[in-house]
Amino acid sequence: MTEVEQHPGGRFDHQVILEMIAPNSKVLDLGCGNGDLLALLIAKKSVRGTGIEINEQAIYKCIEKGLTVSHADIDSGLMDYSNKRFDYVILNESLQEVLNPEKVILEALCVGKKVIVGIPNFCHINARLQIFFKGRVPVTDELPYQWYNTPNLRFLSLKDFRNFCTDKGITIEQEKNINGAQEIKLIPNLFAHIGLFLLSRE
Amino acid sequence: MNQSSLGVVETKFYNFAEPPQELILKSGIKLGPITLAYETYGTLNKDKSNAIVIFHTLTSDAHAAGIHKDSDKPGWWDGMIGPGKAFDTNKYFIISSNVLGSCKGSTGPASINPKTGKPYGLSFPVVTIEDMVVAQKRLIDHLGIPHLFCAAGGSMGGLQALLWSVMYPDLVHSVIAIATNPRHTAQQIALHEVGRQAIMSDPDWQNGDYYGKSIPARGLALSRMIGHITYMSDKSMEEKFGRKLIGKEKVGFDFSHDFEVESYLKYRGDSFVQRFDANSYLYLTKALDYFDLAEDGNLVSAFEKVKASLLVISFTSDWLYPSYQSKEMVKALRANDLDVSDCEINCSYGHDAFLIEIDAQSRLICHFLNRIHKEKINDRS
């Protein structure tokens, strides 16, 4: 989980995802939280969307927004959905919190034609400087947790994720890296807080 | 005095299946005439598109909301049904239907068999949940309702709601299935069998022929005591009773009641005997045990024809209809590409939660129905 900057158009990562998605498509949002992204996609892109979320209070918020949502753990499996059922499966800000990210992402690529992954970059320069100069595990505005209370189970950089995709034969069709409400093009693994990837796999 | 925002309501009765047009049951046996008790709340709109049918639990009745003229006790789901409530009677026309086999105003083993002039007793045919739904379909036809906006219920009522969407897929727009499951499991059957044996081993049961004589009160009370334990949870019993003693400072070192929970169960058992027929208990638990949506073992194909949008609710502490059964059902529904939402509500009330946990259920149900309502209007325009 990271703190994402709000701006007048809503969360910038949501705006980036919105642009990646074709209108009227079928979307599954894994770890959909309060359903803000799904509601946005339905309103702006007329998608047919459904979410999976583990937090009970978030389920109420989703239902209040008029969303279809399932109260489940994405680690417990997606394979009850048939092959390529969805046009897009979204894993935004959730992959680093699952127990078995490899399984989840490969399952997402089975049930979805395309997968959108949003990950926090744990190797941002602020984090690196804290490790180097302070000799401590970084706590930054974007990664505000201490080691003992962080919901994040997985710590990875944008480069780590790209390497993972190469190893698994996953195609990165599009990559956008952001910092607050800004797109970062220069050395994103150093300067971007969040990486957003549009993936596919034959 | 209890209050209900719905005010005074009354139970109505629909009579049908007069011979020779008897209802043919799943077993192949014909049954008629049949009476079905029901209540309605709210108003059916002009295009008859706002009807919701509510189904009750094993031993409940058609009196789901409001109060009866001669009583101040509100219906069993009064917190959920009424103006501005989850099932909003300002918007929806609510029908609460009793079931075939019950003793709450509908035809069951305690009813008089017109052929003999005596109560049916064990000559009453074994009915199934499917038979209950077929009878309810007749009631809905009688009320002139072509489509149900929603079929909703908890426990045994949830089974009926699910079956409506399976048996009449074109007639049901949405389903709310609470604390229920797609098939009865060995544990559920076992618990029912203990209850049935308690009744049948009471000498007063007399093979079901006890009407007008002394009723099998001890057996029925015992089966209710067992049932009541299954409706609660370890935690809710601990919270409600703990090890509190009843009317004494210390334990008595005898077999009189020491603990509050003992006298509570006794009270529950005894009061149940006043309001429920032992044979009905046998028939209804049997109907539950026979329930299996996936008789061929394949739950996914069991939901193949369903078109309704669904909301499935379960409770963390319910060990009679555990959440995993709801989740299994949700997976099968999703595999059919159906619009299904589900929530496992965290609470300690056990299976009874669906009668008690009003706030969380209301939040889910009210917004679910709003969405379905909106989508329906958009579809038409």
Asked whether residue B155 falls in the same domain as residue B199, the answer is no
- Residue B155 is a catalytic residue: yes
| 3-class DSSP state of B265 | helix
Q: Average pLDDT of chain A?
A: 92
Asked if A150 and A182 touch (Cβ cutoff 8 Å), the reply is: no
Whether A1 has a pLDDT exceeding 50, the answer reads no
Residues A144-172: what's their mean pLDDT? 95
pLDDT of residue B2: 55
Please indicate, yes or no, if residue B37 is contained in any of the structural domains. yes
Domain interval for residue A102 = 12-200
Please indicate, yes or no, if residue A7 is contained in any of the structural domains. no
Cis check: omega of the bond before B83, within 30 degrees of 0 = no
Asked if A40 and A90 touch (Cβ cutoff 8 Å), the reply is: no
Whether A140 has a pLDDT exceeding 90, the answer reads no
> CA-to-CA distance for A94 and A100, rounded, in angstroms?
11
CB proximity A80 to B under 8 Å: yes
> CA-to-CA distance for A106 and A115, rounded, in angstroms?
10
Domain interval for residue B167 = 12-185+293-380
pLDDT of residue B202: 98
Whether A24 has a pLDDT exceeding 70, the answer reads yes
Q: What share of chain B is helix, strand, coil (3-state, %, to 5)?
A: 40, 15, 45
CB proximity A56 to B under 8 Å: yes
Please indicate, yes or no, if residue A5 is contained in any of the structural domains. no
Please indicate, yes or no, if residue B4 is contained in any of the structural domains. no
Asked whether residue B55 falls in the same domain as residue B121, the answer is yes
Asked whether residue B268 falls in the same domain as residue B300, the answer is no
| Tokens 């079928």 belong to residue | A26
- Residue B318 is a catalytic residue: yes
A71:B343 CB<8 A:
yes
pLDDT of residue A80: 79
Asked if B371 and A39 touch (Cβ cutoff 8 Å), the reply is: no
How many residues make up chain A in this entry?
202
Asked whether residue B179 falls in the same domain as residue B195, the answer is no
Question: Which portions of chain B are predicted below pLDDT 70?
Answer: 1-2, 381
Give per-residue pLDDT as tens, B130-151.
999 999 999 999 999 999 999 9
Catalytic residue among B318, B323, B326, B373: B318
CATH number at residue B139: 3.40.50.1820
CB atoms within 10 A of CB B196: 19
Q: How many domains does chain B have?
A: 2
> CA-to-CA distance for B148 and B171, rounded, in angstroms?
6
Asked whether residue B157 falls in the same domain as residue B31, the answer is yes
Give per-residue pLDDT as tens, A51-64.
999 999 999 999 99
Catalytic residue among B56, B184, B351, B373: B351
Please indicate, yes or no, if residue B142 is contained in any of the structural domains. yes
> CA-to-CA distance for B51 and A63, rounded, in angstroms?
22
Those residues with Cβ within 8 angstroms of residue A69's Cβ, 6 or more apart along the chain or in another chain: A32, A35, A50, A51, A52, A53, A59, A62, A63, B341
> CA-to-CA distance for A189 and A89, rounded, in angstroms?
24
Q: What share of chain A is helix, strand, coil (3-state, %, to 5)?
A: 35, 25, 40
Asked if B55 and B155 touch (Cβ cutoff 8 Å), the reply is: no
pLDDT of residue B3: 74
Which residue in B335, B341, B346 is closest to A69 by CB distance?
A: B341
Asked whether residue B227 falls in the same domain as residue B323, the answer is no
Asked if B362 and A63 touch (Cβ cutoff 8 Å), the reply is: no
Specify burial of residue B228 (Cβ count, 10 A radius: 0-12, 13-18, 19+): middle
Whether A168 has a pLDDT exceeding 60, the answer reads yes
pLDDT of residue A82: 80
- A21-36 burial, b at 16+ Cβ within 10 Å, e below that, comes to beeebbbbbbbbbbbb
Please indicate, yes or no, if residue A114 is contained in any of the structural domains. yes
- Residue B102 is a catalytic residue: no
Chain A contacts in chain B segment 323-362 (CB below 8 A):
327, 330-332, 334-335, 337, 339-346, 360
Asked whether residue B74 falls in the same domain as residue B94, the answer is yes
CB proximity B44 to A under 8 Å: no
Whether A200 has a pLDDT exceeding 60, the answer reads yes
Those residues with Cβ within 8 angstroms of residue B253's Cβ, 6 or more apart along the chain or in another chain: none
**pLDDT bracket for residue A9 (50, 70, 90):** low
Whether A5 has a pLDDT exceeding 80, the answer reads no
CATH number at residue A78: 3.40.50.150
A70:B367 CB<8 A:
no
